[in-house]
Amino acid sequence: MGEELSGFLFPNDIHILWSLMIVLYPYVTGIVAGAFIVSSLYHVFNRTELRPVARLSMVTSLCFLSVATLPLLMHLGHPERALNIVITPHFTSAMAAFGLIYTLYLILLVLEIWLVYRKQIIMTARRSRGMKRAIFATLALGVYDTSDEALHVDRRAVVVLAALGIPAACILHGYVGFMFGSVKANSFWSTPLMPIIFLFSAVTSGIAMILVLYQTLTKLSSRTIDASCVQSLSRWLALFAVVTVTLELLEIITLAYERSEEWIVIAPLLSSKLAISFIGVQLIFGSLIPIILLGIVVLMQRYLTNPLRNTISFIASAILLIQVFAMRWNVVIGGQTYSKSMRGFREGYQPELFGREGIATALVILLIPFVFMAIFNRYLPLQAEEASTKSSPATELEPTAH
């Protein structure tokens, strides 16, 4: 251990306590918020070109939300005590607020998805038999009205819920950035830009995930990738990626310009211990390359064939997913690397392969949402019929699937 320590450290300030699970937690909640924003662009702002991913983005948000608390539970020494923070909340605690925010957002998201799929649920219940019929009849809540008037009410309710969901999604992940930004004892975290950076990077990861999932699912189902949808997603992704990277650089530049006593230890931290993950992965590989690729897609649209544009946007999206994870790693792990003495570095952190907070556990948690999506898609398709791709949310609800 002595070889990994450097400088002066307090005896009780040697170990990094927040591990891979605390890195994974904001990463998952970021995808939740970002994916929901994509669906809201269609339902609230009438971006009809995004209709092919309207369902997919909502279900993606729900599936990742279902595992959002697992990293925290795996990190806790006594996960059975987790509900205490909800049952006996202290309203001066920011952590206690998470249970309420999470629950309210979950209810809102489930209601919106139910309204979008209500017609499909009813039709499935009518043509099914046995247990499947009983399950879908229960999901229909005993209401089988699919008249134009009823569907119009559903459409209006979806728009309202989607509009309410935008600030709810922003609060859900902005809260995570607030948690780090409010830690006064850590100058690397305690900056006013921290909640904003987390929020914009969340939207970036959500859009990137939807782009990757949409192209993958469309290819697997032997369908045609909608060119206008991919182009629109690429534009939004380029916008949020540029803003996110700009904010990240502004935060570092501000710390460097102030040259406070904390910068004396933060500067060597970024240039040595975090050189690979921060400069190499987050800035050069994860930021510069995808921004250039997305710039080609956005600015050279007329010169690109559809397959080439799809490939470039897919690669850029996959890299940005890595970039956002690297940013979470550098904030959580990097922020704990230097000692509170401001004159030394803690022992290096390397996640174990197996174990409660190991790499294998993290991969399983990331895999669960995709399993949920596959099950969901088995009974309620994630993609709308191609024939109705250009339909507006103001004129019709999501059509039934084939």
> pLDDT tens digits, residue range 76-123?
888 888 888 777 877 777 777 777 888 899 999 999 999 999 999 999
Does a structural domain hold residue 401? no
On whether both 116 and 208 belong to a single domain, the answer is no
On whether both 1 and 43 belong to a single domain, the answer is no
Does a structural domain hold residue 397? no
Does a structural domain hold residue 31? yes
Does a structural domain hold residue 119? yes
On whether both 105 and 163 belong to a single domain, the answer is yes
Domain boundary, last residue among 302, 329, 349: 349
pLDDT, one tens digit per residue, over 166-211 is 999 898 888 888 888 887 777 788 888 899 999 999 999 999 999 9
Does a structural domain hold residue 387? no
pLDDT, one tens digit per residue, over 369-380 is 999 999 999 999
Domain with 92 in it:
21-182+351-382
On whether both 1 and 55 belong to a single domain, the answer is no
On whether both 175 and 205 belong to a single domain, the answer is no
Q: Could you tell me the sign of the dihedral formed by the alpha carbons of 181, 182, 184, 185, in that order? A: negative
Work out how many domains the chain is built from and give that number. 2
* Cα-based distances in Å from 379 to 168, 272, 355: 28, 51, 34
Map tokens 């993606």 to a residue: 60
On whether both 148 and 30 belong to a single domain, the answer is yes
Does a structural domain hold residue 137? yes
Query: H helices within 128-226, ranges in order?
Result: 130-139, 148-181, 194-220
Does a structural domain hold residue 127? yes
Whether residue 321 is predicted with pLDDT greater than 60 in this model: the reply is yes
On whether both 158 and 231 belong to a single domain, the answer is no
On whether both 127 and 138 belong to a single domain, the answer is yes
Does a structural domain hold residue 396? no
The residue count for the chain: 402
Domain boundary, last residue among 304, 324, 349: 349
On whether both 69 and 136 belong to a single domain, the answer is yes
On whether both 77 and 159 belong to a single domain, the answer is yes
Strands 343-345 vs 6-8: parallel, antiparallel or unpaired = antiparallel
Distance CA 77, CA 72 (A): 10
On whether both 343 and 215 belong to a single domain, the answer is yes
Phi and psi angles of residue 7, each rounded to the nearest 5 degrees, phi first: 75, -160
